[in-house]
Amino acid sequence: MVILLLACAGDPAESRRPSEDSGAEEVAPAQMDAERLLVRLSLDLRGVRPSPAELDAVKADPTSVDASIEAWLADPAFERRMMELWAVPFRTRLDDYPGGADVFGASSEARFQAAIGEEPLRLIARVAADDRPWTDVVTADWTMSDAVLAEVWPVDYPDGAEGWEEVHYTDGRPSAGVLSTNGMWWRYGSTIENYNRGRANAIARVLLCDDFLHRPVSFSRTNISLESDSLLEQTQTDPNCTTCHVAVDPLGSYLFGFTYYDTAFVSPTYNFAAERDWANGTTIAPSYFGEPGDGLRDLGRQVANDPRFVSCAVETTWTGLMARAAVGGDFDTLSDIRDDFILGGLKMKDVVRRVVADPRYRAADGTVADGAPYKLVPVELLASQVEALTGFRWTFYEYDMLGTDLYGLRLLAGGADGVYVTTPATQPNTTLLLVQSRLAALAAGYAVEHDAERADPLFDVVAPDVEPTDEQLLAQLRSLSLRVLSQRASDADVADAAALWEAAYVDSGSPSEAWALALTLLLRDPALLVY
């Protein structure tokens, strides 16, 4: 039944694909040079800028880019980048989940709130990083937990562990990958009379790229009754309502095990007693677009077998790496990637390889349809590249200042909070520049003070607390430009920077303060924000 319905509805990507008879001939846009491409790949695949040695290697041999891609796909940092990419559609990285550490017994409010929303994202990222079949996203019998989350969740977290580990829920809940996680359904709650419809739409939007809220609906407001019983009847009888509710309501019926009726709407443990409360609500039994099912395991299996699940994974990855929605001729490429994704055993790294090899990803210039000649760094990349360069992570009482909004500056830095702003900024704005300016000053001061403690010092020519010779000054400024901005500074740029350093040194009498100023100016450069 589900295949029949999908065939009738058509592939959403297919409807947006241009006709083969259009006569338009695609011309590949001009490509980036190897060094600039390496910067984009390094930031997208591992969240940091390439080292001077890596830049030198690709300058000497541009074909070594392919070897770098393979190395970075195997880098542990790739897993975190996949988590950050999928955070955009999942929208689970909230600041303030219901309840709190004191209510549920967690030791850190900041870490507990952050970990809740990361649980489903960490599962997805682990599947991608380990090249497991993508269907594990909705069928896995495990989830991810850190030590703070394990203080609340009923999971078999290893004794003595500290970081994120694969674990299993111990409360007997059905296994369905992200569909079984508390993190998913604490984010997408449900009122008693919503009957998990919002949750059902989250499944369709995130995993199938099919948002019910985007479907055209036409009805008269005068026909709507505010009485709950009448509303429920209308959703099941009014043709204008049944267009969506015929699919949404039975999809929501799978999820009553995450519904609670006491004073709290969330609980760490699964609610077996509520699993069949659909019989007291919509009275509609669980089914997946016409295919009956029973429980979360069936739901996970049905999502995994839905052709839209694979198509959506490809399109989401494309969108995240391209930093723009798929348009026009993109869909022919997406169809080819999807076919190879299936033939290759649904390994996400294969999709990533295809996207970053595409001429539109590597475009040096052109229109948005050609590619993104310059992408704005997401706030996560702003934070990770500065941390890698300087060792500085901006926190306040354990709250990540670039990863939260209640206490931090994520939205001001162009990020998304998952509720009011659901997509990251694509163009620089005033508040982003202000955040960058403050971050630059803090990070530069930290780097100068702690550089001697680093295994790979940023100041690799002369220590920042030592007065440099003229030769050392120029060499260090060139090195900093290459490390921080991935740019080979011209003689004129180095001379200007040296003059500023000298002026700061004369004014302060401290080489450390002069270097802090020079590094601050580099970290404030617009080149740090685009790649």
Q: Which pLDDT tens digit goes with each residue over 305-322?
A: 999 999 999 999 999 999
- pLDDT greater at residue 242 or residue 383: 383
Q: Residue 4: pLDDT band by 50, 70, 90 thresholds? A: very low
- Residue 276 within any structural domain of the chain: yes
Residues 394 and 523 in one domain: yes
Strand (E) or helix (H) holding 443: helix 430-450
Q: Are 323 and 426 in contact (CB under 8 A)?
A: yes
* Per-residue pLDDT at 15: 39
Summary mean pLDDT of the chain? 91
State residue 150 phi and psi, 5-degree precision.
Answer: -70, -15
Please give the pLDDT value at position 245. Answer: 78
Quick one: 117 and 258 in the same domain?
A: no
Q: Are residues 283 and 226 in the same domain?
A: yes
Looking at the predicted structure, is the pLDDT value of residue 368 above 60?
no
pLDDT: which is higher, 262 or 337: 337
- Given 264, 279, 305, the domain boundary residue is 305
Residue 44 lies in a domain: no
pLDDT at 191: 84
CA separation, residue 120 to residues 82, 124, 138, 321, 514 (Å): 12, 6, 10, 20, 45
Same domain, 160 and 232: no
- Entry pTM: 0.90
Q: Answer for the pair 81, 44: CB distance below 8 angstroms, yes or no.
A: yes
- Supply 62's token pair: 């541009």
Asked if residue 326 belongs to a domain, the reply is no
Shared domain check, 255 and 123: no
Q: What confidence tier does 98 reach under pLDDT thresholds 50, 70, 90?
A: confident
Tell me, yes or no, whether 2 lies in a domain.
no
Same domain, residue pair 274 and 410: no
Q: Are residues 260 and 141 in the same domain?
A: no
Evaluate whether 461 touches 472 at the Cβ level (below 8 Å).
yes
Q: Give the count of alpha carbons within 13 A of 142, CB side only.
A: 14
Q: Which of 180, 198, 229 is the last residue of a domain?
A: 180
Asked whether residue 24 is assigned to any structural domain, the reply reads no
pLDDT of residue 26: 60
d(CA 138, CA 505): 59
| Residue carrying structure tokens 């919002």 | 198
Candidate from 22-36, 79-93, 95-109 with smallest mean pLDDT: 22-36
Residue 222 vs residue 96, higher pLDDT: 96
Q: Which pLDDT score is estimated for 226?
A: 56
| Contact in structure between 198 and 181 (CB atoms under 8 Å) | no
Has residue 357 been placed in a domain? no
First-to-last C-alpha distance (Å) of the chain? 46
Residue 225, pLDDT > 80, answer: no
Examine the domain organization and report whether 461 and 426 are in the same domain.
yes
Q: Does the pLDDT of residue 8 top 60, yes or no?
A: no
pLDDT value at residue 237: 65
Domain count of the chain? Answer: 3
**What are the tens digits of pLDDT across the range 271-295?**
999 999 999 988 999 999 999 999 9
Mean pLDDT of 150-177: 97
Residue 356: the pLDDT is 98
- Tell me, yes or no, whether 495 lies in a domain: yes
- Predicted confidence at residue 212, as pLDDT, reads 87
Position with higher pLDDT, 195 vs 11: 195
Q: Does residue 398 lie within any of the structural domains?
A: yes
| Domain termination site, one of 149, 180, 211 | 180
**How many other β-carbons are positioned within 10 Å of the β-carbon of residue 14?**
10
Clarify whether residues 383 and 300 are in a common domain: no
pLDDT tens-digit map of 494-530: 999 999 999 999 999 999 999 999 999 999 999 999 9
Asked if residue 202 and residue 166 are part of one domain, the reply reads no
Strand pairing partners for 287? 292
Query: Do 123 and 200 have their domain in common?
Result: no
Tell me how far apart the alpha carbons of residues 184 and 195 are, in angstroms, rounded to a whole number.
16
For residue 251, which of 298, 217, 187, 218 has the smallest C-alpha distance?
298
Domain holding 404, by residue range, is 379-528
Residue 22: which pLDDT band, with cuts at 50, 70 and 90?
A: very low
- Indicate whether 40 pLDDT > 80: yes
Q: pLDDT value at position 262? A: 63
pLDDT at 468 over 60: yes
* Domain identity same for 168 and 272: no
pLDDT of residue 10: 40
Q: What is the band of 372 on the pLDDT scale with cuts at 50, 70, 90?
A: low
**Average of pLDDT values for 84-99?**
94
Beta strands in 133-267 (DSSP E): 143-145, 165-167
